[in-house]
Chain A
Amino acid sequence: MTQNIEKFDVIVVGAGPAGNAAAYTLAKAGKKVLQLERGEYPGSKNVQGAILYADALEKIIPDFRDSAPLERTVIEQRMWVMEDESYVGTTFRSDRFNQMPGNRYTIIRARFDKWFSEQVQKAGALVICEMTVIALLRDAAGKVIGVEVDREDGKIYADTVILADGVNSLVASRAGLREDIKPAAVALAVKETIFLPKETVEARFNLKGSEGVVIEMLGSISQGMAGTAFLYTNKDSISLGIGCMLSDMKAQNTTPAELLEKLKQHPSVAPLIAGGETREYAAHLIPEGGYHALPELYGEGWLLVGDSAGFVNAVHREGSNLAMTSGRLAAETLLELGEKGLPSTAANLARYKARLEDSIVLKDLKKYRNIPDTLHSQRQFLSDYPALLNGAAHEFFTVDGQDKATKEKAIFNAFRERRSLLGLLGDAYRLWRATR
């Protein structure tokens, strides 16, 4: 293996959803694929909330539901805008989600990645774990022709290298294919997996069978930083986490671990996890720079997929689906080139970008291209509005002898006091613009 006797059609670096989607699609079509993963097993280094969006996986493995380790089918979505003692929220619960096929599932990444990797191996790819890629090999003209791994004589050659090595993508940045990530373009998320008896999870969230609830949270819990939190129900555990932009985290004094502790103690969260046992504490970066922060996506002999390309839609907390879709599209691009007998030059690999532009990946990132900047510069969305909303609800739902018209006026004045009328209109416009 480590002697350079063999040459592969494609080397895939990393065995997360992006790399697995690419390796699976290529191997299934008969390509000679080598996939390298630095962890002891696929998933051992990976962290997610985690919600799995069925559509992206279905396009790769249509019958995944028969064997994939799914935790719960999401039938209820809550959104909470929080103040220190309260939240204003919306709930959408629908029995339609119970009808097969499910649309969103909670998963546990270490288990899911292991399963996905088994499918990759069954499809015929050679998967080697505990092997870290440390550099790219190039020919005299600069074309990427393989990788170097952390073993003696660790040079391995291939026609194309797909970099699916995740958000840090040291391989790509050290090879000069992209810049290292910037604090303003990345969020740090910390999470705990908290175990509770299955019956307790079901009773607390009003669930039966494999039904599940997810809660997305924002407001005072991020202490003014651009950030959100989440609580997802698994079979017999709860995933609870919070993430904030690193540029904001740098500029304050609360550690991520403390932020998570405070979230756990919030009066609306604490009863949901009471009595639970934390069995793991994890942290991971999320590329949230969006469209404007995207690096070059391909070049002579190489392609970036998933987090290493920055494909995350922070507003909808979608990443794994974009990872899988971009992995599949990268693979399909190479299959097309193979059929036509074309080499992996940058000019030919431009077809990968065209495919991305025609898909959810770049269409959605483009649609939300102004969101990251809007949240960085318009702090009122993160601090003023959550406080105002909660204040308004408190005013409205406290029965204290005050008539409703006076209450509405007080609410309106509270908004006006913190944000001028023009400011309010401007905010509405900015939010609308950011999502166009």
Chain B
Amino acid sequence: MMKVEEKLFQNRYRVDADRPHIRIKNESVCNDGCVSRACVVCCPAGCWSFEEGKIGLITDGCLECGTCRVVCDTHGNVDWNYPRAGFGILFKFG
């Protein structure tokens, strides 16, 4: 099985260092209030993690699909934006 990291490695990105375009509004909602943690399962790029009782988000490999925002409909806890113009994923084929 090809890991998601290996898949993402094939992609072209222009990463906006230290300026993540997606933010968690309130981490304690993720850690304590959320049952589904749907973002962790549904993110196609494995950007979301839940380890040792803590939610994690690293947007470097983000494919800008919008899924994490849409599946967090119960809590509305994802502050989702596009990366700054010109940054982010650059699909060669799409």
Contacts and interface: CB of A to CB of B under 8 A. Distances in A.
Interface of A: 38-40, 43-48, 50, 108-111, 113, 129-132, 150, 167-168, 170, 180-183, 186, 188, 190, 192-193, 237, 239, 246, 249-258, 261, 264-265, 278-285
Contacts of A252: 41
Given A250-B42, A282-B11, A283-B45, 9 more contacts: A43-B91, A109-B91, A183-B73, A188-B44, A256-B42, A257-B45, A261-B1, A278-B7, A281-B4
Nearest to A249: B42
B82 interface: yes
Nearest to A46: B94
Contacts, number: 140
Interface string B60-84: 0001111101110100000011101
A48 B94 contact: yes
B46 A255 contact: yes
A287 to B, nearest CB: 11
28 contacts: A38-B82, A40-B14, A45-B91, A50-B94, A108-B93, A110-B92, A168-B66, A180-B69, A180-B70, A182-B73, A183-B70, A188-B65, A239-B93, A246-B71, A249-B71, A250-B36, A257-B4, A257-B44, A257-B45, A261-B1, A278-B2, A280-B91, A280-B93, A281-B10, A281-B11, A282-B11, A282-B93, A285-B67
Given A188-B65, A192-B7, A246-B42, A280 B70 contact: no
Contact of B91 (A38, A183, A192, A282): A282
Contacts of A278: 2, 7, 10
B8 interface: yes
A167 B90 contact: no
A239 B81 CA distance: 28
Given A170-B82, A278-B7, A186 B70 contact: yes
Interface centre among B80, B82, B88, B94 (most CB of A within 10 A): B94
Given A38-B85, A46-B94, A108-B94, A281 B7 contact: yes
Contacts of A182: 70, 73
Nearest to A264: B2
A234 B73 CA distance: 37
Contacts of B73: 182-183
A282 B90 CA distance: 10
B38 interface: yes
4 closest cross-chain pairs (CB), A and B: A281-B7, A283-B44, A109-B94, A130-B86
B56 to A, nearest CB: 15
B42 A255 contact: yes
B89 interface: yes
B61 to A, nearest CB: 9
A315 to B, nearest CB: 22
A193 B45 CA distance: 16
Given A193-B93, A283-B45, A246 B67 contact: yes
B14 to A, nearest CB: 7
A258 B69 CA distance: 21
Contacts of B88: 45
Contacts of B86: 39-40, 129-130
B42 A188 contact: yes
A242 to B, nearest CB: 11
A342 B3 CA distance: 57
A270 to B, nearest CB: 12
Given A48-B94, A252-B41, A261 B2 contact: yes
Given A183-B71, A190-B44, A246-B42, A132 B85 contact: yes
A256 B70 contact: no
Interface centre among A131, A167, A183 (most CB of B within 10 A): A183
A157 to B, nearest CB: 20
Contact of B93 (A109, A183, A250, A255): A109
Contact of A181 (B14, B45, B70, B84): B70
Interface centre among B42, B67, B91 (most CB of A within 10 A): B91
Contacts of B8: 281
B71 A250 contact: yes
A168 B67 CA distance: 9
Contacts of B41: 249-250, 252-255
Contacts of B7: 192, 257, 278, 281
A250 B37 CA distance: 8
B44 to A, nearest CB: 4
